[in-house]
Amino acid sequence: MEPLSAIWTEKFRPKTFADVRGQDEIVHKLSAFVKQRNIPHLLFAGPAGVGKSTLALVLARAFFGENYRDNFLELNSSDERGIDVVRVKVKDFARTKALGDVPFKIIFLDECDALTREAQQALRRTMENYTATCRFILAANYSSKIIDPIQSRCAVFRFRPHEKADVIKLVEHIIQSEKLQMDDKAKDALVQVAEGDLRRVANILQSCAAVASLITADVVYSLASFAAPAEVREVLLTALKGDFMSARSKLLDVMLKYGLSGVDAIKQLQQEVWNVEIDGRKKVLLIDKCGEIEFRMVEGADEFVQLEALLAQIVLAGSQ
C-alpha cells in the first residue's frame, strides 16, 4: 500500500479553493483577490497543520495554472534562515519579470518566524523594493515573532485549528479511499489527538494502517504517544483520594506504556483536571500548579521530581 503521507501530499491536498475545508472566511477573501488578478503581500499565521502552506499553493495555482512553479518560489525559513538567503535567493527571483499574463511572481516563505531579525530587516526592504514584480506570502506559527515593519506591509490572515467535523470528513475520506477498517471510538480518539492538525491526522493514520488491520482507539493512542484519557483521569482521581504512592505508580506506568515525556504528562493531566468532579476553586488551584510545574520542566528541572511534586499538590488539594 502506498504511504498515506505521500497520498496526503499528492491526492488529498486541495488543489482549488473549492477543495479547501475549514477556513471558509480566508478562502472567500483570497478568491476575491484572484478575481481582481492582484494580491497584496500576505501573512498567514496559525498553528501547524491547518492549511497555511496548502492555501499558498492553491493561490499560486489559481493565478498561474498548472505551470505555477515557473512563477512561484517556495523556501523554508527553518532551513535557510540567514540574511544571505534574502540577499541572494529571494532578490534574484524577485527582480526578474513573471512569465505569462500575471504581472508578478509569488515568493512563499514558510515558517518565516524562524528567520533571524537581521534577515527580517533585509526582507523588509526587499518587499518594498520589488513590489512591482513580486508578492510575498509569509507563513508563521507565531506572528508575534515577525517584526512590526513586515506585519504592517502584509494583509494578515489568522488560521484557526480545524473543527471536529472537518477532521472527521478527512478521516472518512482517507478510510474510504484506502479501504481501511476503523471503529467510531478510534475516530473520536484521532480527533482528540490531532487537536485540529490535519497533517497529524494523516501521519497517525499511516502508522495505524501499517500495524493493525482494524484501527481502534488503543492503537491510535499508542502510536500517537497520547495516553488514554481514562487512564490519566484514574491517576488524577487516585491522587485526589490521598493515595500518593498508588498515583505515583500509575502515572509511571502510563508514561512508560505510551512513551510520554514529562511535559506531555503535564498537559494531559491539565486537560483532565476540568473533567473531574471537584469544586471550581480546587480546579483553578491545580491548573495553576500544572503551569508552574511545566515551567520548571522547560527550564531544565528533573521531570520525575517535578511530577511527584505535582501529585503531592493534587493530594493536598484533595484533602482540603
pLDDT at 249: 94
- 23-56 pLDDT per residue, tens: 888 888 999 988 888 889 999 998 888 888 889 9
Q: Which residues of 16-38 are buried (b: 16+ CB within 10 A; e: fewer)?
A: ebeebbbbeebbeebeebeeeee
Residues 123 and 187 in one domain: no
- 150-176 pLDDT per residue, tens: 999 999 999 988 888 888 888 888 888
Distances (CA, A) of 2 to 8, 48, 92, 169: 11, 24, 38, 21
- 289-303 pLDDT per residue, tens: 999 999 999 999 899
Distances (CA, A) of 200 to 36, 102, 190, 191, 231: 35, 35, 9, 10, 23
Residue 4 falls within a domain, yes or no?
Answer: no
pLDDT at 306: 93
Give the three cell numbers for residue 169.
470528513
| pLDDT higher than 50, residue 218 | yes
The whole domain housing 40 covers 23-158
Of the pLDDT bands very low, low, confident and very high (cuts 50, 70, 90), residue 84 is low
Judging by DSSP bridges, how do beta strands 154-158 and 72-76 pair with one another? unpaired
pLDDT at 1: 46
> Mean pLDDT throughout 134-145?
90
Pick the last residue of a domain from 141, 158, 175: 158
Residue 10 falls within a domain, yes or no?
Answer: no
Residues 176 and 125 in one domain: no
CATH of the domain at 48: 3.40.50.300
Query: Where do the DSSP E strands lie in 141-258?
Result: 154-158, 181-182, 214-215
> Mean pLDDT throughout 182-206?
87
Structure letter (DSSP) for residue 56: H
Residue 202 falls within a domain, yes or no?
Answer: yes
Residues 129 and 202 in one domain: no
pLDDT at 315: 92
Of the pLDDT bands very low, low, confident and very high (cuts 50, 70, 90), residue 81 is low
| CA nearest neighbour of 14 among 2, 26, 3 | 26
Q: What percent of the chain has pLDDT over 70?
A: 93
User: How far is residue 49's CA from residue 153's CA, in Å, rounded to a whole number?
Assistant: 25
User: How far is residue 143's CA from residue 149's CA, in Å, rounded to a whole number?
Assistant: 12
Residues 170 and 288 in one domain: no
